[in-house]
Chains A and B, each alone.
Chain A
Amino acid sequence: MKRKGADGVGNYDDAFSPVPAASSSRTILSLANQLDMFTDHVDISQAFVQGELLPGDGHNGNVYISSPPGYAEDSRYTYRILKPLYGMPSAARAWHTTMSAFLEREGYETVGFEKSMW
Chain B
Amino acid sequence: MTRLSTKSPRYRAPSLPPLTKSPRRCRTPKSPRSLVSITNEIALSDELANHKELAIARAFLRHSVEFVLPPHYRPDVTGECASLVLTPKKLTKTKTVLIVKFLTPQSLKDSTMQMYCTSLEPKRGLSQGADLSILTAIKYTLPQAKSPYDIRVRVMLDADITRAMLADFDSMKGGTVFDATQVDSLDNETSERNPFGKGHNLRSVRDPIAYTRATPDPKHHGQAMRSPMRTEWIKSQGLEMPGLWSQGVFQKVFRTSLTPQDRVFSTRFRYKIKRKGGEFDKCKV
Residues of A near any B CB (own CB < 8 A): 2, 7-9, 46, 49-50, 58-60, 62-71, 75-83, 85-89
Given contacts A64-B263, A66-B266, contact A82 B251 (CB under 8 A): yes
List residues of chain B with CB within 8 A of the CB of A70: 221, 224-225, 234, 237, 269
Per-position binary interface string of chain B over residues 226-268, scored 1 when its CB falls under 8 Å from any chain A CB and 0 otherwise: 0000000010010001011001111111111011011111111
Chain B residues near A65 (CB, 8 Å)?
4, 250, 264-267
Report whether A86 and B247 are in contact in the complex, using a CB–CB cutoff of 8 Å. no
- If over half of B's interface residues share one DSSP class (helix, strand or loop), that class is named, otherwise mixed; here it is mixed
In the bound complex, residues from chain B placing their C-beta under 8 Å from that of A85 are 2-4, 244, 249, 267
Query: Is A78 touching B258 in the complex (CB atoms < 8 A)?
Result: yes
Whether A68 and B267, one on each chain, are in contact in the complex, defined by CB atoms closer than 8 angstroms, is yes
Cβ of B6 under 8 Å from chain A: yes
Q: How many residues of B contact A (CB 8 A)?
A: 41
Q: Are B265 and A63 in contact (CB under 8 A)?
A: yes
**C-alpha gap A89/B269 in the complex (Å):** 16
Interface of chain A, main secondary structure: loop
Q: In the complex the two chains form, what is the Cα distance from A88 to B265 in whole Å? A: 11
Q: Nearest chain A CB to B229's CB is how many angstroms away?
A: 14
CB-CB < 8 A to A63: which residues of B?
265
What is the CB-to-nearest-CB distance from B186 to chain A, in angstroms, rounded to a whole number?
28
- B10 to A, closest residue via Cβ: A66
Residue of B at shortest CB range from A71?
Answer: B241
Evaluate contact between A82 and B254: CB separation under 8 angstroms: no
Minimum CB–CB distance from A14 to chain B (whole Å) comes to 15
